[in-house]
Amino acid sequence: MITAAADGSSLGNPGPAGWAWYVDKNCWAAGGFKTGTNNIGELTAVLNLLQASRKAGLADQELIIYADSQYVINALTKWMRGWKKKNWKKADGKPVMNKDLMVALDKEMQGRAVTFKWVKGHAGHEMNEAADTRARGAATAMRDGKTVAEGPGFAGRAGAPVAKSAVTETELQGKKVQDEEDSPEGDERFFVAEEALIRAFRNGSQSELEQLLAGGFRGFDASGHPMTAADAVADVLQLFSSDGKVGKMACAHLGSGLYAVCYRVGEAGGPVLHSTLWQLHSGSPQALFHQASKI
């Protein structure tokens, strides 16, 4: 049995990107490309892991893959069968994103015993953190024009064979796996994006705000003052205090690739309700609108 973690990274999303899988310090691999999204990095990591283990003569071993992307897990274990029946089109008739990767992954998983397990990203999971570090390092190297640390890969490890099977599983640690029509990417990615937006405003990170805000972004602070993406990047208005406690988030899929995330923040002057309208741009969340309202 092989247990590995797979992860992807993109600086700009899309931007310089990297991927990595990690078994242990002596068995890992990474790579990068000039531009790509987090999703492309994640999918490439899984694909390379499957290919590398097969080329090392380990295709008969059960493969357990830890991933922090519910999109990747859902796509490979829940939605892919329906996509194939519809000639790689989604329920709305639109082409599946990253089709070439999906087709290659489907081919590699045939006859393999593969189990996917969800793990929360940046939460101290040793293997996930190791894969994340290497994927981010690859993306950084691509950005800076440096050589990517590719890793040793597999060393032709021997192990007990298992019965070949095309069956895959998901283990989401109590989280419900939703249908593509209900939530194509899973709420988690929008919670992560919202948390990143809060940090970016609190830290005054112009580069992060440029990545997270759509070009046509509009918003209002708790006093009713309007703001644009340019205002936000220039720190004209401050949406969040540095110490306000963020409450539980709720996410709603509004259709047409739009998602709303709502939550309360406890501020010194009283609680404030925050709502952000997100869209998927090249498979990655971007904020279109934000409203802060005193309660």
> Hey, which residues are catalytic here?
7-8, 42, 68, 122, 132
pLDDT of residue 2: 94
For 269-283, what is the mean pLDDT? 85
pLDDT of residue 235: 63
pLDDT of residue 174: 36
User: In the chain, what percentage of residues exceed pLDDT 70?
Assistant: 85
CB 110 within 8 A of CB 104: no
According to the CATH classification, is domain 190-294 in 3.40.50.300? no
CB 144 within 8 A of CB 136: no
Per-residue pLDDT for 56 more than 70?
Answer: yes
Judge if the upstream peptide bond of residue 14 is cis by omega within 30 degrees of 0.
yes
For 149-157, what is the mean pLDDT? 79
Residue-wise DSSP of 61-96:
S-EEEEES-HHHHHIIIIIHHHHHHTTSB-TTSPBP
For the chain, give every domain's residue range. Answer: 2-177, 190-294
Greatest pairwise CA separation for the chain in angstroms: 65
May I ask the CATH architecture of the domain 2-177?
A: 2-Layer Sandwich (3.30)
Which comes out higher in pLDDT, residue 109 or 164? 109
pLDDT band at 237 (very low <50, low <70, confident <90, very high): low
CB 136 within 8 A of CB 31: no
| Average pLDDT along the chain | 82
Question: Has 7 been labeled as part of a binding site?
Answer: yes
User: In the chain, what percentage of residues exceed pLDDT 90?
Assistant: 43
Question: Has 132 been labeled as part of a binding site?
Answer: yes
- 237 vs 198, 209, 232, CA distance in Å? 13, 13, 6
pTM more than 0.85: no
Both tokens assigned to 230: 């340019």
Residue 241 CB partners (closer than 8 Å, separation 6+): 202, 265, 267, 268
CB 286 within 8 A of CB 214: yes
pLDDT of residue 261: 94
Question: Tell me: the pLDDT tens digits for 90-138?
Answer: 877 888 888 889 999 999 999 999 999 998 887 889 999 999 999 999 9
Question: Has 68 been labeled as part of a binding site?
Answer: yes
Question: Tell me: the pLDDT tens digits for 1-17?
Answer: 999 999 999 998 778 99
Which comes out higher in pLDDT, residue 42 or 253? 42
